Amino acid sequence: MRKTLVPGEQVIVTTRPQPRRLAGAAAAFVLAPALAAFASAWVIRGGITRMAPALGRQWTPWFVTACVLAAVTVWLGYCLPRLLRWQGTRYTLTSQRMVARWGLLNRRDQQVNLASVRNLTVHESLLQRLVRSGNISLETGHQGMVTFRDVPEVARFRDFILDAIGELPEDSGSQPGDTTYYPAGAFPEDMREGGRDDR
Protein backbone atom coordinates (compact mmCIF):
# COMPACT_ATOMS: atom_id res chain seq x y z
CA MET A 1 0.00 0.00 0.00
CA ARG A 2 1.32 3.43 -0.90
CA LYS A 3 1.66 6.03 1.79
CA THR A 4 -0.31 9.22 1.83
CA LEU A 5 2.28 11.86 2.57
CA VAL A 6 2.19 15.62 2.69
CA PRO A 7 3.54 17.38 -0.43
CA GLY A 8 7.31 17.12 -0.69
CA GLU A 9 7.60 14.47 2.05
CA GLN A 10 9.46 11.25 1.34
CA VAL A 11 9.92 8.07 3.34
CA ILE A 12 13.56 7.43 4.22
CA VAL A 13 13.32 4.20 6.24
CA THR A 14 10.76 2.12 8.10
CA THR A 15 11.41 -0.72 10.52
CA ARG A 16 10.15 -2.66 13.52
CA PRO A 17 11.82 -2.96 16.93
CA GLN A 18 14.73 -5.37 17.34
CA PRO A 19 13.33 -8.95 17.31
CA ARG A 20 15.24 -9.80 20.50
CA ARG A 21 12.00 -8.91 22.30
CA LEU A 22 10.62 -12.18 20.94
CA ALA A 23 13.34 -14.34 22.51
CA GLY A 24 11.22 -15.34 25.51
CA ALA A 25 8.18 -16.03 23.35
CA ALA A 26 10.27 -18.11 20.94
CA ALA A 27 11.68 -20.18 23.80
CA ALA A 28 8.19 -20.70 25.25
CA PHE A 29 6.86 -21.64 21.79
CA VAL A 30 9.41 -24.47 21.58
CA LEU A 31 9.48 -25.56 25.23
CA ALA A 32 5.72 -25.63 25.86
CA PRO A 33 4.90 -28.48 23.42
CA ALA A 34 8.10 -30.32 24.35
CA LEU A 35 7.18 -30.28 28.04
CA ALA A 36 3.58 -31.17 27.23
CA ALA A 37 4.74 -34.17 25.20
CA PHE A 38 7.08 -35.29 27.99
CA ALA A 39 4.34 -34.95 30.60
CA SER A 40 1.84 -36.78 28.39
CA ALA A 41 4.26 -39.66 27.88
CA TRP A 42 4.88 -39.84 31.62
CA VAL A 43 1.13 -39.95 32.29
CA ILE A 44 0.53 -42.62 29.65
CA ARG A 45 3.30 -44.81 31.14
CA GLY A 46 1.50 -44.79 34.45
CA GLY A 47 3.35 -42.05 36.30
CA ILE A 48 0.16 -40.62 37.77
CA THR A 49 -1.18 -43.99 38.95
CA ARG A 50 2.14 -44.79 40.65
CA MET A 51 2.12 -41.47 42.48
CA ALA A 52 -1.61 -41.56 43.29
CA PRO A 53 -2.98 -45.12 43.11
CA ALA A 54 -6.49 -43.81 43.76
CA LEU A 55 -6.45 -42.30 40.28
CA GLY A 56 -7.08 -45.16 37.90
CA ARG A 57 -6.25 -45.48 34.24
CA GLN A 58 -9.58 -43.90 33.34
CA TRP A 59 -8.10 -40.50 34.24
CA THR A 60 -5.20 -40.81 31.79
CA PRO A 61 -6.99 -39.18 28.79
CA TRP A 62 -7.98 -36.24 30.99
CA PHE A 63 -4.44 -35.64 32.17
CA VAL A 64 -3.10 -35.88 28.62
CA THR A 65 -5.73 -33.39 27.48
CA ALA A 66 -4.71 -31.06 30.32
CA CYS A 67 -1.08 -31.22 29.14
CA VAL A 68 -2.08 -30.32 25.59
CA LEU A 69 -4.32 -27.48 26.77
CA ALA A 70 -1.50 -26.12 28.92
CA ALA A 71 0.78 -25.91 25.87
CA VAL A 72 -1.95 -24.24 23.81
CA THR A 73 -2.57 -21.77 26.63
CA VAL A 74 1.11 -20.80 26.65
CA TRP A 75 1.01 -20.30 22.88
CA LEU A 76 -2.17 -18.23 22.85
CA GLY A 77 -1.74 -16.40 26.15
CA TYR A 78 1.99 -15.66 26.09
CA CYS A 79 3.58 -16.18 22.67
CA LEU A 80 0.90 -14.81 20.36
CA PRO A 81 0.30 -11.49 22.20
CA ARG A 82 4.02 -10.71 22.16
CA LEU A 83 4.31 -11.56 18.49
CA LEU A 84 1.33 -9.34 17.65
CA ARG A 85 2.71 -6.52 19.80
CA TRP A 86 6.03 -6.67 17.94
CA GLN A 87 4.32 -7.02 14.56
CA GLY A 88 2.13 -3.99 15.28
CA THR A 89 5.02 -1.70 16.23
CA ARG A 90 6.62 0.28 13.44
CA TYR A 91 9.10 3.14 13.30
CA THR A 92 9.02 5.33 10.19
CA LEU A 93 11.42 8.14 9.35
CA THR A 94 10.38 10.58 6.63
CA SER A 95 12.10 13.67 5.35
CA GLN A 96 10.01 15.75 7.77
CA ARG A 97 9.11 13.63 10.81
CA MET A 98 9.84 10.57 12.91
CA VAL A 99 6.77 8.41 13.50
CA ALA A 100 6.13 5.50 15.87
CA ARG A 101 2.98 3.42 15.62
CA TRP A 102 1.84 0.71 18.01
CA GLY A 103 -1.01 -1.79 17.79
CA LEU A 104 -2.88 -3.73 15.13
CA LEU A 105 -6.49 -3.23 16.23
CA ASN A 106 -6.21 -0.39 18.72
CA ARG A 107 -3.73 1.98 17.11
CA ARG A 108 -1.58 4.46 18.98
CA ASP A 109 0.91 6.70 17.27
CA GLN A 110 3.42 9.39 18.10
CA GLN A 111 5.29 11.64 15.74
CA VAL A 112 8.05 14.20 16.06
CA ASN A 113 8.58 17.03 13.61
CA LEU A 114 12.29 16.89 12.69
CA ALA A 115 12.43 20.68 12.47
CA SER A 116 11.68 20.85 16.20
CA VAL A 117 14.43 18.40 17.26
CA ARG A 118 17.05 20.14 19.40
CA ASN A 119 19.07 17.15 20.56
CA LEU A 120 19.41 13.47 19.62
CA THR A 121 20.65 10.86 22.09
CA VAL A 122 21.37 7.17 21.54
CA HIS A 123 21.48 4.82 24.52
CA GLU A 124 22.62 1.19 24.20
CA SER A 125 22.65 -1.39 26.97
CA LEU A 126 25.19 -4.20 26.84
CA LEU A 127 22.63 -6.61 25.39
CA GLN A 128 21.51 -4.02 22.84
CA ARG A 129 25.09 -3.47 21.74
CA LEU A 130 25.47 -7.18 21.08
CA VAL A 131 22.52 -7.12 18.65
CA ARG A 132 23.24 -3.60 17.33
CA SER A 133 20.03 -2.04 18.61
CA GLY A 134 19.39 0.84 20.96
CA ASN A 135 17.05 3.56 22.18
CA ILE A 136 16.88 6.84 20.29
CA SER A 137 15.71 9.88 22.24
CA LEU A 138 14.72 13.08 20.45
CA GLU A 139 14.58 16.21 22.55
CA THR A 140 12.16 18.82 21.26
CA GLY A 141 11.03 22.19 22.46
CA HIS A 142 7.36 21.34 22.89
CA GLN A 143 7.27 17.59 23.62
CA GLY A 144 10.24 17.29 25.93
CA MET A 145 11.94 13.95 25.31
CA VAL A 146 10.49 11.31 22.99
CA THR A 147 12.16 7.87 23.08
CA PHE A 148 11.96 5.15 20.44
CA ARG A 149 13.01 1.87 22.02
CA ASP A 150 14.95 -1.07 20.58
CA VAL A 151 15.57 0.50 17.19
CA PRO A 152 17.55 -2.02 15.07
CA GLU A 153 20.83 -0.91 13.46
CA VAL A 154 20.64 2.09 15.74
CA ALA A 155 23.84 3.75 14.45
CA ARG A 156 22.58 3.72 10.86
CA PHE A 157 19.14 4.91 11.94
CA ARG A 158 20.72 7.78 13.87
CA ASP A 159 22.69 8.76 10.77
CA PHE A 160 19.49 8.71 8.70
CA ILE A 161 17.83 11.06 11.20
CA LEU A 162 20.81 13.44 11.26
CA ASP A 163 20.96 13.48 7.46
CA ALA A 164 17.23 14.20 7.25
CA ILE A 165 17.57 17.05 9.77
CA GLY A 166 20.55 18.41 7.84
CA GLU A 167 18.55 18.44 4.60
CA LEU A 168 15.63 20.41 6.05
CA PRO A 169 15.19 23.80 4.38
CA GLU A 170 16.94 26.62 6.21
CA ASP A 171 13.91 28.89 5.95
CA SER A 172 11.56 26.45 7.67
CA GLY A 173 11.31 28.97 10.51
CA SER A 174 10.54 26.31 13.11
CA GLN A 175 11.04 27.42 16.67
CA PRO A 176 10.93 25.38 19.88
CA GLY A 177 7.30 24.74 20.65
CA ASP A 178 6.17 24.89 17.01
CA THR A 179 4.10 22.05 15.63
CA THR A 180 3.42 21.03 12.07
CA TYR A 181 -0.15 20.29 11.02
CA TYR A 182 -0.58 17.09 9.04
CA PRO A 183 -4.06 16.72 7.51
CA ALA A 184 -6.17 13.62 8.06
CA GLY A 185 -4.93 10.75 5.94
CA ALA A 186 -1.38 12.10 5.81
CA PHE A 187 -0.07 9.59 8.32
CA PRO A 188 2.35 7.01 6.87
CA GLU A 189 0.64 3.61 6.71
CA ASP A 190 3.37 1.42 5.22
CA MET A 191 6.61 2.13 3.40
CA ARG A 192 6.15 3.87 0.08
CA GLU A 193 7.05 1.84 -2.99
CA GLY A 194 10.66 2.36 -3.87
CA GLY A 195 11.65 3.65 -0.42
CA ARG A 196 14.43 2.16 1.66
CA ASP A 197 13.50 -0.48 4.21
CA ASP A 198 15.88 -1.20 7.05
CA ARG A 199 14.25 -4.54 7.78
Q: What is the pLDDT of residues 74-129, one digit of tens each?
A: 999 999 999 999 999 999 999 999 999 988 778 888 888 898 899 999 999 998 89
Let me know if domain 11-17+90-172 sits in CATH 2.30.29. yes
Report the SS3 class of residue 60: helix
- Please give the residue that has the higher pLDDT: either 142 or 160: 160
Burial degree of 173 (CB within 10 A; 0-12, 13-18, 19+) = exposed
Question: Does 188 score more than 80 pLDDT?
Answer: no
Q: Which of 90, 179, 167 has the alpha carbon at shortest distance from 143?
A: 179
Question: Does 10 score more than 80 pLDDT?
Answer: yes
Question: Does 46 score more than 90 pLDDT?
Answer: no
* pLDDT for the residue 31: 96
First to last CA, the chain: 17
Report the SS3 class of residue 105: coil
**Helices and strands of the chain, counted as H and E runs:** 6, 7
